[in-house]
Each structure stands twice: as structure tokens, then as C-alpha cells.
Amino acid sequence: MGRSGLLDLEKQYALYGAHHRNPINYFLHLLLLWPTLFSALVLLYFTPTFSQLEFSPFGKNLSLNFGFFSALIYSLFYISLDKKAGSLAALLAFLSWVGGSLLASQLGYSLAWKVSCCFVLNHDCVCMLNLLCCCHSFP
């Protein structure tokens, strides 16, 4: 019984390595990973809360929800790959969770999903102009 494509880790790693050796793909990955993660964490702020943090230096806006656990899983994964660079990536994932939670609590769901979609689709100029119009008219 041979390995199928999805579970063939050697094949997947070779494909991953080939994509990340290209300097343009590498730069785009570094540039677009964090806004995409931040946008996802903004949306995940509105998922059900498992526990509310009683002591929080940022008020009661931080909650242990799917956003927190997603950031935690990413952090542990990055640390398992490389201790130094993974620790920096874990810190950035944690800061993305904190920043995403604070932004989402201020915007509310109605505007937060629009902001998140515009971050993910940051190449869409019309979406960015609509975002500026929404934020300007937002009280």
C-alpha cells in the first residue's frame, strides 16, 4: 500500500521547500502571513468563549476562545520548528491575538468582518476605499 499525496510528508516537504526557496514567494509569505493571521484572529474573537480572563491589563476584552487556541497552536508549532525564530513567531502570534481581540471588541462584528476581509484581500483597492469610507462615517 503506497502513500497517498496528502499523507506523503516527504513529497509535501519537498513542495514546501521548493516554494520557499524562491525569493519572491519567500518575501510574499513573510509579508502576507501576519495580516492574514491577524484578520483570522479578529474574526475568531466572535466565537464562543470558554473562559473570560479576570485579570487583564487591557480590560475585559480578552477571552479564551477559538482565537486564543488558534494562536496557541500556531505558537507551539513555530517553537517546535525552531526555538529562536519560533519564539519570535510565537510572540507575534500572541500579539496578533491581543491586537485582534482589542480591535474586534472596539469595532463589533458588523464592521470587524469587513475590516478582516479587506486585510485578507488587501490587493483590492475598491475594498480599501470602502473601508476608509466606513471608518470615516463610523461614530
**pLDDT per position as a tens digit, 47-71:** 888 876 666 666 666 788 899 999 9
Structural domain span for residue 117 = 9-137
- What radius of gyration, in Å, describes the C-alpha atoms of the chain? 18
Alpha helices, H only, 22-124: 23-44, 66-81, 83-107, 109-120
Q: Identify whether 128 is part of a domain.
A: yes
Q: Identify whether 63 is part of a domain.
A: yes
Averaged confidence pLDDT in the chain? 75
Q: Identify whether 44 is part of a domain.
A: yes
Q: Identify whether 101 is part of a domain.
A: yes
Contacts 24+ apart (CB under 8 A), 91-96: 92/34, 93/37, 96/34, 96/37, 96/38, 96/41, 96/71
pTM: 0.68
**pLDDT per position as a tens digit, 107-127:** 888 888 877 776 666 544 444
Overall domain count for the chain:
1
Q: Identify whether 1 is part of a domain.
A: no
Q: Identify whether 4 is part of a domain.
A: no
Q: Identify whether 90 is part of a domain.
A: yes
Q: Identify whether 3 is part of a domain.
A: no
